[in-house]
Amino acid sequence: MIRMKEAREIKGQTNPEQWFLEQLRAYTQRQPRGDKTPDCPDDAFIRAYAAKPGSFPLSDSRVRHVTSCDHCMPALLDFRSVTTSRRPAQMRIAAIASLCAACLIAGFLGARYWSHRQSIAVEPPTLSREVSPPMERTLDLTNYGTYRGAEDQSPRPPVNLPAALLHVNLILPRFSEAGPYTIMVVGDKEGNGRIAYATGTATTIGSQTKLTVTLDLRRVRPGNYVLLTELNGQDDWYSYPLKIQ
């Protein structure tokens, strides 16, 4: 009996599009509205999309965002409701209204589907990158002396590291002190173009002073760089030629 009454009410609507939008808007308003994010398009786009949803391709990233955003979707429905209510009476023909509603539904469902497909294509590499453990590497600087910066006049072969996420076990030069160190990978000895930064505490065991740091070199182009180390409080960097492969 209730379903027959609802059916008569729907059939009696002069504007099926408006009825559909009111139902969708009522459902959306019952959900908690999300906060606006930097990815949200401005109101001008949402208003334009609400007025003519068929004029924007489903591949438009703004369409995919609006139809999957808890902040933008309620705004779209509000704009759509206002736009529909302001139309002249002679334009509210059932056939046109039904067509507009169909376009909105198709756009909504299509954008949801497109967003789902894109997330499937993007998520695996992201997850893979997150769960991949860092590579272990050891840099033995024992024989690199304790010369500082430009004072080092003797050429030395570079130490090598791969362009990857690394756990680097550093063996510092002889007579290095234990304590907290700052480690950087930069473009030159002057410290220009900082690429990676880490801190760690060195300990002395026997004749060796060691520390372990994590360096993220995944986005670094292969080439020649400089590894800098500094014992905190000394304000003096030691530099070592570094080749990233």
Q: What is the structure's pLDDT at 110?
A: 67
Q: What is the structure's pLDDT at 241?
A: 93
Residue intervals in the chain for CATH 2.60.40: 135-244
What's the alpha-carbon Rg for the chain, to the nearest Å?
31
C-alpha closest to that of 43 among 84, 75, 82: 75
Residue recorded with tokens 């290095």: 176
pLDDT digits (tens, 9 = 90+) for 57-70: 878 888 888 878 88
Q: What is the structure's pLDDT at 75?
A: 83
Pairing of strands 135-140, 165-171: parallel
Token pair recorded at residue 204: 């002395």
Q: What is the structure's pLDDT at 140?
A: 94
Q: What is the structure's pLDDT at 181?
A: 95
pLDDT digits (tens, 9 = 90+) for 216-237: 999 999 999 999 999 998 888 8
pLDDT band at 128 (very low <50, low <70, confident <90, very high): very low
Rounded to whole angstroms, how far apart are CA atoms 214 and 199?
8
pLDDT digits (tens, 9 = 90+) for 65-119: 887 888 888 888 888 777 655 555 445 555 555 666 666 776 666 666 666 565 5
Residue pair 241/157 in contact (Cβ under 8 Å)? The answer is yes
pLDDT digits (tens, 9 = 90+) for 144-199: 865 444 454 566 789 999 999 999 999 999 889 999 999 999 998 777 889 999 99
pLDDT band at 123 (very low <50, low <70, confident <90, very high): very low
Q: What is the structure's pLDDT at 71?
A: 84
Classify residue 86 as exposed, middle or buried by CB count within 10 Å of its CB (0-12, 13-18, 19+): exposed
Is the pLDDT confidence value at 8 over 70? no
Does the predicted model carry a pTM greater than 0.75? no
* Better-predicted residue by pLDDT, 80 or 134: 134
Q: Which residues contact 205 (CB under 8 A, 6 or more apart)?
A: none
The secondary structure of 125-185 as a DSSP string is: HHHHHHHSPPEEEEEE-GGGTT--GGG--S--PPEEE-SSEEEEEEEPPTTPPPEEEEEEE
Q: What is the structure's pLDDT at 143?
A: 86
Classify residue 213 as exposed, middle or buried by CB count within 10 Å of its CB (0-12, 13-18, 19+): buried
Q: What is the structure's pLDDT at 56?
A: 84
Tell me the fold of 135-244.
Immunoglobulin-like (2.60.40)
The amino acid sitting at 201 is: T
Q: What is the structure's pLDDT at 50?
A: 82
Q: Residue 198: helix, strand or coil by DSSP?
A: strand
